[in-house]
A and B are shown apart, each in its own frame.
Chain A
Amino acid sequence: MNQYEPVIGLEVHVELNTKSKMFSGSSADYFSKEPNSCTDPTNLGLPGSLPYINEQAIEDCMKIGLALNCQIADVSRFERKNYFYPDLPKGYQISQYRWPLCKNGWLEVEDKDGNVTKIRINRVHQEEDTGKLTHTDGQTLIDFNRSSVPLVEIVSEPDFHDSSQVRDYAKKLQQIFRYLGVSNADMERGDMRLEANVSVRKIGETELPNYRIELKNINSFRFMVAAIEYEIKRQIEALEKGEKLTQETRGWNENKKETFLQRSKEEAHDYRYFPDPDLPEIRMEESRVKSLESGMPELPEAKVKRFISDYGISKANAQILVDSKELANYFEKTVEDGKDIGVSPTDIANYIINRKVNIDEVKPKQVVEEIANRKVGVVEDEGEIEKVVDEVLMENEKSVDDYKNGKTNAIQSLIGGVMRKTGGKVNIETVRRVLQEKLES
């Protein structure tokens, strides 16, 4: 069995959260809206309607490209991908084929053993979403609310050899989309969709296998990993039995925990791509790319590295804290608040992670004080505390004067002084009370 190695490529689609649609003015915020209420002549494909490029979407696509270390093309074009399906009102999807907006990028992924591999990214291109079909009681209903919502496709090279790499890649992409603020990237809502091309070859071979199985319509990371695992096993078994595998599209049946055939090669389309005559070339000025580059937020990968070097926290903790931009910001705010009273970033990281702090409800200050208070018990004797307080008051005349002149905030740094001297091993409320008594006597 283990003389085979899987060869996997990934196509990821992500819906952008722009205000309007890719090529017209109606709202792109269609989720849970009344069917066919977010439509206009263009995304309904009415006769005479025309597409008009949404510049915000183009910028978002470029941001994704830049985050994935891609080159931004000087000249790119939209093309028409022609095929018939009732959810595709124009009879073609406006997409990119020969001239994608971003190309030749990469992203580093980790497998389950922590080995890091660079996954090459072939292209990041802009396209539009389709409508949605609902099949009920022998009838099919079409909702065009999703029609022409901006969609970005990220195509990797077949550089994955393990499903854990795929999982890490997808997770990292999701994080990047959220950091960039270009999409909610919610798998269940369909904001983010994964397609994997899976084949296997004998270890040592370098050529790509002459077939590939496309896994499609799988709406969670977990199911995708399961489907890939299943496919690898199925394909190896088939090859071992001397079967010949051919190109096909398969889906995932979660109940049976197996993949199933959706479409075979014979049914493959000829999309008849050609440059969309309704849309001009996109010529990208260097200055525009530069200004986008300089406006890019710090991305998860860089943040992890900085958290480790600046705060001395563990890699595992850094990765957890960087999971969302909000959590990372919260951590940094807490570290800032903790500085004054000598609460260390490591303690803060551990506390936030272990206690699963609800960052929407608990204020960073509360976390800091809570951590300080947890160290209570070691110094209970008020006399001892008073001694330290006296020392601190002597050493910090300026803060004492400030306090007496009405800057009551100055007490914070005095508390911090006591905390430092005691290694935080005092009850912060006791310290505050003692300090207040002495300062106001």
Chain B
Amino acid sequence: MNDITGLTLIETLKALEEKKFSSEELNKAYLERIEKINPRLNIFLEIKKNPQNMPAAIKDIICTQNIRTTAGSKILSNFVPPYSATVIDRLKEKGIGIIGKTNLDEFAMGSSGENSAYGPTKNPWNETKVPGGSSSGSAAAVAADLCTFALGTDTGGSIRQPASLCGVVGLKPSYGRVPRYGAIAMASSLDQIGPITKSVADARLVLEWISGPDGKDSNCVDPASCKVTPCAARGCLAGVRVGVPREYFGKGLDKGVEKVIREAIKKLEELGAEIVEVSLPHTEYAVAAYYIIMSSEVSSNMAKFDGIRFGSGREDFGPEVKRRIMLGTFALSTGYYDDYFAKAAEVRTLIKQDFEKAFEKCEVIVGPVSPTVAWNLGEKIEDPLTMYLSDVYTIPASLAGIPGLSVPCGFSDGLPVGLQILGKYLDEETILNIGEIYEQSTDWHNKKPDLGKEA
């Protein structure tokens, strides 16, 4: 069976159960494909020699016991964690194995993958393009069929944006749904671990595996609210109100992307959804507030990398990490706290309220994930501000702590575009159901990048 690697997670589980192939054959198929493709795309920082069980790819910011975990940083080039993240332990209980650790922007700081100390990952759809970031390797690994599914982390869009740019499904759960223990912190009040998958149903399954309190992440919510029921009524969105925020279709949104998103919204309408215009008036302040809150937390979270107990010295931090440490240190300094951090926290509350108000009129909010499709490697790396603005549609949901899904919804200039579906806090169920109904009534999820004859 040469198309083992093309199967979704759920299809693979079924095939294993029906003994269509063995776990050994499964891992062998993936490993062979990785050997052929990885050297070109630079997706994996670590490839397991004898992978077993269900082969998953893990973003290299999630601690794996006895497997080197670098966070994409030179500072951790020799760091082998003595413990595993909660999500890793939970996957292991479900029979999931690790096939490799995936490349990322250093400490998840970036939107293109180019801030990795180990060289950029390339987009499987076009090797001259970025895969998005910071979960670059995880999204690219799923797009290139180098794993059954992957885990990423999302702080301001780091799951949704690369999923969009690589044409796969990416879910950022509500803040507090998945325990963060073992995920190396970037900005603690925003970080969430989530799945990157080949189908919406796969994302739902993985979410259920990894959700719920672990007694280690104090911000994790009650297990009673963590059950995600599978999609009941397929193929129909009658009675569902879909909000379209006018602020997500303004200046800066690429025309080609806009066209694809508008078509996707039309499709939702065809499926029976009622389309309502909503407003998220504080969207324009989101990026600024995010950069203050995130960098403040970063400046404190990065302090442990002092080279005393593990890792090398802080001179090994890359430029983007240093930039954020400096920004955050400034924002928290005496005399500046009220003007920066406290103000940003107020904006965050307003943004949360924007969503609460909008959700009075609709069950989900849809729009673009990224204002553009994947751009050229090197194109924005010298211009951090432009890079920051590429997260303008993902950041508000991060600040509000609500769940967001990216579902493939077409192409522009031959590159994938993702539809972002945002839901109420802890209502992953609805966004997954709507995402799945959309996915199953379109063909976008079946499109695969052409990786040439070697693949």
Task: Give residues in A with beta carbon < 8 Å to B.
Answer: 41, 44-53, 80, 82, 84, 86, 89-92, 142, 270, 272-274, 276-280
- A47 touching B81, Cβ below 8 Å: yes
For the complex, give the distance between the alpha carbons of A258 and B187 in Å. 47
The chain A residue sitting closest to B73, CB to CB, is A47
Find B219's partner among A46, A49, A280 (CB 8 Å cutoff): A280
Find B300's partner among A46, A49, A274, A279 (CB 8 Å cutoff): A274
- A277 touching B189, Cβ below 8 Å: yes
For the complex, give the distance between the alpha carbons of A279 and B297 in Å. 13
- A52 touching B304, Cβ below 8 Å: no
* Additional pairs, 9, CB under 8 Å, beyond known A89-B304, A277-B189: A45-B304, A49-B182, A52-B217, A80-B300, A82-B303, A84-B306, A274-B300, A279-B218, A279-B219
Question: Does B39 belong to the interface (CB within 8 Å)?
Answer: no
- B71 touching A47, Cβ below 8 Å: yes
For the complex, give the distance between the alpha carbons of A82 and B332 in Å. 10
* Most B-side CB within 10 Å, residue of A46, A53, A89: A46
What B residues does A41 contact at CB under 8 A? 82-83
Find A91's partner among B83, B303, B332 (CB 8 Å cutoff): B303
Question: Does B181 belong to the interface (CB within 8 Å)?
Answer: yes
Query: How close is B33's CB to chain A, nearest CB, in angstroms?
Result: 29
Question: Does B393 belong to the interface (CB within 8 Å)?
Answer: no
Query: How close is B139's CB to chain A, nearest CB, in angstroms?
Result: 21
- B185 touching A48, Cβ below 8 Å: yes
* Most A-side CB within 10 Å, residue of B79, B83, B303: B303
For the complex, give the distance between the alpha carbons of A90 and B63 in Å. 17
Find A50's partner among B187, B218, B299, B304 (CB 8 Å cutoff): B218
For the complex, give the distance between the alpha carbons of A280 and B79 in Å. 30
What B residues does A142 contact at CB under 8 A? 308
Query: How close is A205's CB to chain B, nearest CB, in angstroms?
Result: 28
Question: Does B341 belong to the interface (CB within 8 Å)?
Answer: yes
What A residues does B334 contact at CB under 8 A? 270, 272
Question: Does B225 belong to the interface (CB within 8 Å)?
Answer: no
- The 8 A CB mask of B79-96 against A (1 = contact, 0 = none) is 101110100000000000
- B181 touching A49, Cβ below 8 Å: yes
What A residues does B79 contact at CB under 8 A? 47
25 sample A-B contacts, Cβ–Cβ < 8 Å, listed by A number: A45-B309, A46-B83, A47-B71, A47-B76, A47-B79, A47-B305, A48-B62, A48-B85, A50-B216, A50-B217, A52-B215, A52-B218, A82-B299, A82-B303, A86-B308, A91-B303, A91-B306, A270-B333, A272-B333, A272-B337, A274-B296, A274-B300, A276-B188, A277-B187, A278-B217
Query: How close is B367's CB to chain A, nearest CB, in angstroms?
Result: 27
What B residues does A80 contact at CB under 8 A? 300
For the complex, give the distance between the alpha carbons of A84 and B308 in Å. 12
What B residues does A53 contact at CB under 8 A? 218
For the complex, give the distance between the alpha carbons of A277 and B82 in Å. 24
What A residues does B219 contact at CB under 8 A? 278-280
For the complex, give the distance between the alpha carbons of A165 and B310 in Å. 47
Query: How close is A417's CB to chain B, nearest CB, in angstroms?
Result: 64
- The 8 A CB mask of B301-336 against A (1 = contact, 0 = none) is 011111011100000000000000000010011100
- The 8 A CB mask of B331-356 against A (1 = contact, 0 = none) is 01110010001000000000000000
What A residues does B215 contact at CB under 8 A? 52
- B309 touching A44, Cβ below 8 Å: yes
Query: How close is A77's CB to chain B, nearest CB, in angstroms?
Result: 12
For the complex, give the distance between the alpha carbons of A80 and B334 in Å. 14
What A residues does B333 contact at CB under 8 A? 270, 272
If A272-B332, A277-B189 touch, does A48 touch B300 (CB 8 Å cutoff)? no
Find A47's partner among B69, B189, B308 (CB 8 Å cutoff): B69
Question: Does B184 belong to the interface (CB within 8 Å)?
Answer: yes
- B303 touching A84, Cβ below 8 Å: yes
